[in-house]
């Protein structure tokens, strides 16, 4: 079954890539974003639409056909590095104490970078009480698969129906690790001013709101690196000597972290397919 799943993933990735490339899916948006930031971030010149699309379709195919592997990863930190279903997995050594602390809950920030969906089952397998509220995707059948089959580990779904600030605070009160994809354009009146890739952006105000009401809440950033044939899980904690300045530092440190990942490989940040700069610079996308 594992072999069949991997073969299906390869076939799906190739077909999806060919179809999306032929249709020019999100091509104008990707190129508009890249042109907008290229002056401030020269490394973005390495962005290649076709390479980004190949990475995206490969990770999407793993999500649909190979996620069972991530749901069988070891719970015990000492069991890493390991090999499961023919794939190598490892924990970054510096991440281990951070991951241990994450078992007590907090706020987890990440981005549409690399195989970001795979962090869900992996963190759950490590005994971390992850919860996340997702915006429904289209088509509906795909969203049903994601909610009912993909985002559940050991009989527990980490996808929750939390929509209001009160809901999010309740999750923190219950000791959950609340996940937020923090790299998208915020188009609500309370959005915070920020800078990303050398350009002005609107930042999601939710982390600042949560910290205002729960100022001692720890903040974490996680990501998966594919390195030397292995999938390596990284985790860092954002700390600040002054709680009053924490919301601003969270935003700036998160953006700095993501900028570092993009400089390493711009073809792994799928935020280029989103209108990240629309609130501040809608003209770059045309009509």
Determine the pLDDT at residue 216: 86
Tokens found for residue 241? 């000597």
Domain containing 220 equals: 2-285
Query: Residue with structure tokens 């490989």?
Result: 265
Based on the structure, what is the number of domains in the chain? Answer: 1
Mean pLDDT of the chain: 91
Residue range 69-100, pLDDT digits in tens: 999 999 999 999 999 999 999 999 999 999 99
Please give the pLDDT value at position 240: 62
Question: What is the pLDDT confidence band of residue 244, given thresholds at 50, 70 and 90?
Answer: low
* Model confidence pLDDT, tens digit, residues 40-74: 888 888 899 999 999 999 999 998 899 899 999 99
pLDDT tens-place string over residues 111-143: 999 999 999 999 999 999 999 887 777 788 877
User: What mean pLDDT comes out for the span 154-165?
Assistant: 86
8 A C-beta contact, residue 106 and residue 217? yes
pLDDT at 213 over 80: yes
Q: Which two tokens stand for residue 92?
A: 């970054």
Q: What is the mean pLDDT of residues 204-226?
A: 90
Amino acid 160: pLDDT: 85
Task: Please report which confidence band the pLDDT of residue 269 belongs to, taking 50, 70 and 90 as the band edges.
Answer: very high
Q: In the structure encoding, which two tokens stand for residue 74, read together?
A: 């070891």
Distance CA(176)–CA(108), nearest Å, equals: 10
pLDDT value at 264 more than 60: yes
CB neighbour class for 150 (10 Å; exposed up to 12, middle 13-18, buried from 19): buried
Alpha helices in 91-217 (DSSP H): 96-102, 119-125, 140-145, 165-173, 206-213
How far is the C-alpha of 33 from the C-alpha of 47, rounded, in Å?
Answer: 10
Of the pLDDT bands very low, low, confident and very high (cuts 50, 70, 90), residue 249 is: low
What does the DSSP assignment read for 225-264? EEETTEEEEEEEEE--S-GGGHHHHHHHHHHHHHHHHHHH
pLDDT at 238 over 70: yes
Tell whether the model's pLDDT for residue 246 goes beyond 60: no
Mean pLDDT value across residues 8-19: 96
List residues bridging with 174 in a β-sheet.
none
Which residues contact residue 207 at a Cβ distance below 8 angstroms, ignoring those fewer than 6 apart?
107, 109, 180, 182, 219, 247, 250, 251
């Amino acid at each position: 079954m594992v072999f069949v799943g991997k073969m299906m993933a390869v076939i799906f990735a190739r077909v999806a890539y060919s179809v999306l490339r032929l249709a020019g899916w999100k091509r104008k948006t990707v190129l508009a974003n890249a042109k907008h930031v290229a002056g401030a971030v020269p490394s973005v010149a390495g962005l290649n639409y076709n390479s980004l699309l190949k990475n995206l379709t490969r990770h999407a195919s793993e999500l649909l056909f190979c996620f069972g592997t991530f749901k069988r990863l070891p719970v015990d930190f000492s069991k890493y590095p390991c090999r499961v279903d023919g794939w190598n997995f490892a924990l970054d050594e510096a991440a281990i104490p951070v991951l241990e602390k994450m078992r007590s809950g907090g706020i987890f920030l990440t981005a549409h970078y690399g195989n970001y969906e795979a962090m869900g089952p992996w963190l759950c397998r490590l005994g971390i009480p992850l919860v996340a509220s997702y915006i429904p995707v289209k088509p509906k059948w795909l969203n049903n698969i994601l909610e009912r089959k993909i985002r559940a580990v050991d009989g527990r779904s980490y996808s929750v129906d939390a929509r209001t600030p009160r809901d999010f605070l309740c999750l923190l009160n219950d000791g959950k690790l609340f996940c937020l994809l923090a790299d998208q354009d915020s188009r609500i009146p309370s959005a915070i001013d920020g800078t990303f890739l050398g350009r002005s952006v609107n930042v999601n105000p939710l982390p600042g709101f949560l910290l205002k009401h729960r100022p001692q809440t720890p903040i974490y950033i996680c990501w998966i690196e594919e390195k030397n044939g292995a999938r390596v899980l990284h985790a860092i904690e954002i700390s600040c000597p002054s709680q009053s300045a924490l919301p601003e530092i969270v935003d700036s440190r998160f953006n700095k972290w993501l900028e570092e990942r993009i400089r390493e490989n711009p073809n792994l940040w799928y935020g280029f397919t989103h209108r990240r700069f629309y609130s501040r610079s809608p003209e770059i996308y045309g009509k």
